[in-house]
């Protein structure tokens, strides 16, 4: 493997970029050029960020962000108004980098304009629009298409800034888990619940076997109707868990497919336990589902 190292000055981290030696010369050259351009953009953005004041920035979203960790480590995303963006996945292959310009579409939303050659474009970083989320001194960049999932995890108290998954968080040497609610643009505020939502199954429309990932616990997929809807705070894409399930034992998970004011359709994934009674091993009328609500706090920035 041919290895090259780039030192980022904000802070000084080493991004190790490796180039596979088993590809033909033409493809190897293309990848080397793409990596060099990514290194150049990284240096430009780092220099621009160093010149920007620590406080009172016009573009408050500019900064150094990370996501992960993956098997290899954290992914890195740098963004600045003039120099654009540079992304590097820790695997460092030519297909795992991206760079380009960016535009502030409106307050709280930025759009990445990818310039990476298509053949070298990262397969795991195809996001174009990001929502800027502020939460107790930290900034998050959340792909717009992941905002529903992000807010659902906030409601369920499952956001860990030191282990960002599906979003990027501003790099810090030491993270403190936030409390209260994050500040999000107005169009997403309805996704942050002000109280728990609880409903029950009124109809089970179908049940089919589903390939599961828990050995010894066959998985069933059910389509069902719950007696809660948009009037209760339900929204399409919202995640619900069965009553009494916990973070470490959520055997039954529901995702809202459609919603009307007073009911919603959900897809349920239920991992069976052979030791349970039959009534507990198949989604049925009367099963109760809830949003896992984060404990109330006076530190609420969503208004």
* pLDDT tens per residue across span 165-223: 777 888 775 667 777 788 888 888 888 887 778 999 999 999 998 876 666 678 889 99
* Chain segment 268-292, per-residue pLDDT in tens: 998 887 777 666 778 999 999 988 6
Confidence bin at 134 (pLDDT 50/70/90): confident
| Predicted TM-score (pTM) of this structure | 0.63
Confidence bin at 160 (pLDDT 50/70/90): low
Percent of the chain with pLDDT over 70: 70
pLDDT confidence of residue 200: 95
Q: Comparing 88 with 125, which gets the higher pLDDT?
A: 88
pLDDT confidence of residue 271: 84
Confidence bin at 256 (pLDDT 50/70/90): very high
Confidence bin at 78 (pLDDT 50/70/90): very high
Confidence bin at 152 (pLDDT 50/70/90): confident
From residue 80, give the alpha-carbon distance in Å to each of 21, 127, 159. Answer: 33, 17, 25
Domain ranges of the chain: 2-191, 198-290
Confidence bin at 89 (pLDDT 50/70/90): confident
pLDDT confidence of residue 123: 53
DSSP type of residue 295:
P
3-class DSSP state of 45: helix
From residue 22, give the alpha-carbon distance in Å to each of 2, 25, 28, 33. Answer: 11, 9, 9, 17
**Strand-pair category, 219-226 with 138-143:** unpaired
pLDDT confidence of residue 70: 55
3-class DSSP state of 18: strand
pLDDT confidence of residue 84: 93
pLDDT confidence of residue 115: 86
End-to-end CA distance of the chain: 52
Most confident of 29-38, 111-120, 222-231, 271-280: 222-231
Average pLDDT over the chain reads 76
Q: Which CATH architecture has domain 198-290?
A: Beta Barrel (2.40)
**What's the whole-number mean pLDDT along residues 254-278?**
87
Residues 273/138, Cβ–Cβ less than 8 Å: no
Residues 288/243, Cβ–Cβ less than 8 Å: yes
């Amino acid at each position: 493997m041919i290895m090259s190292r780039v030192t980022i000055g904000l802070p000084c981290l080493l991004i190790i970029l490796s180039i596979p030696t088993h590809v033909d010369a033409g493809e190897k050259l293309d990848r080397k050029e793409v990596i060099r351009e990514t290194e150049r953009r990284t240096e430009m953005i780092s220099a621009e960020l160093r010149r920007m004041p620590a406080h009172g920035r016009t573009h408050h979203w500019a900064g150094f962000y990370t996501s992960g960790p993956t098997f290899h480590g954290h992914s890195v995303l740098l963004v600045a108004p003039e120099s654009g963006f540079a992304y590097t996945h820790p695997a460092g292959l030519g297909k795992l980098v991206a760079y380009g310009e960016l535009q502030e579409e409106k307050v709280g939303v930025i759009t990445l304009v990818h310039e990476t050659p298509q053949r070298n474009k990262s397969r795991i970083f195809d996001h174009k629009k990001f929502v800027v989320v502020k939460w107790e001194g930290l900034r998050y960049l959340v792909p717009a298409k992941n905002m529903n999932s992000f807010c659902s995890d906030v409601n369920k108290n499952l956001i860990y800034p030191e282990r960002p998954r599906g979003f990027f968080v501003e790099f810090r040497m030491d993270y403190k888990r936030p409390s209260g609610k994050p500040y999000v643009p107005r169009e997403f505020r309805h996704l942050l619940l002000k109280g728990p939502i609880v409903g029950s199954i009124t109809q089970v429309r179908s049940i089919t076997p589903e390939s599961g990932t828990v050995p010894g616990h066959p998985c069933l997929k059910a389509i069902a109707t719950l007696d809660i809807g948009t009037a209760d705070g339900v929204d399409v894409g919202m995640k619900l868990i069965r009553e009494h399930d916990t973070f470490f034992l959520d055997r039954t998970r529901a995702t809202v497919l459609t919603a009307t004011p007073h009911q919603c359709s959900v897809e349920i994934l239920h991992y069976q336990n052979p030791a349970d009674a039959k009534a507990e091993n198949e989604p049925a009328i009367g099963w109760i589902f809830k949003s896992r609500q984060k404990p109330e706090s006076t530190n609420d920035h969503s208004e």
